Amino acid sequence: MKINVKKLQNGAKLPVYGSRFAAGADLYACTEGETVIAPGETVLIPTGIAVELPAGTVGLVFARSGLATKQDLAPANKVGVIDCDYRGEVKVALHNHGKEVRSVSYGDRIAQLVVVPYLPCEFEETAELSQTVRGEGGFGSTGRA
């Protein structure tokens, strides 16, 4: 599948897969200089790109495991959603979950983009739902003896 990417800033980098079978393509910071993120702070980091996702797909923006585990930086909303009709700049709201000041510089890999198909649904109100073995059990209710 080919995805059109428009560079909105000079020096913006297109998403790149880190390995042949990587599910997520790295997104790169397109910042001027260094952006400091204090502990507990969230900063919107520009990528300098816009994407044209095919109809019926969504771009999901996930944390990069190394950045999250080594630098305590991960998307504030946990998973960003890029709808296929959005044509604005892709930005990542990076949150510093740690206790130390962190920084992001131009060209840093800040998140990963996974493009997946989705099913459009029509939501219909009903008085009853079908029965299942699980029923209303949630929040750790499965696997109990």
43: domain range? 23-117
Query: Cα 141 to the chain's mean position, in Å?
Result: 29
Q: Give the Cα separation of 17 and 116 in Å (integer).
A: 15
In 3D, which of 120, 2, 18, 92 has the Cα closest to residue 52?
2
For residues 135 and 106, the model is more confident at 106
Q: How confident is the model at residue 137 (pLDDT cuts 50, 70, 90)?
A: confident
Structural domain contains residue 16: no
Structural domain contains residue 14: no
Task: For 100-120, write each residue's pLDDT tens digit.
Answer: 999 999 999 999 999 999 999
Q: Based on the structure, what is the number of domains in the chain?
A: 1
Structural domain contains residue 113: yes
What tokens does 133 get?
Answer: 């073995």
Structural domain contains residue 8: no
Q: What phi, psi does 70 have (nearest 5°)?
A: -95, -30
The average pLDDT across 82-107 equals 98
For residues 110 and 33, the model is more confident at 110
H or E, element range at 36:
strand 34-37
pTM of the model: 0.89
Say which residues have a Cβ less than 8 Å from residue 56's Cβ, sequence separation at least 6: 84, 117, 118, 120
Q: What is the CATH number of the domain that holds 51?
A: 2.70.40.10
Cβ atoms of 106 and 87 closer than 8 Å: no
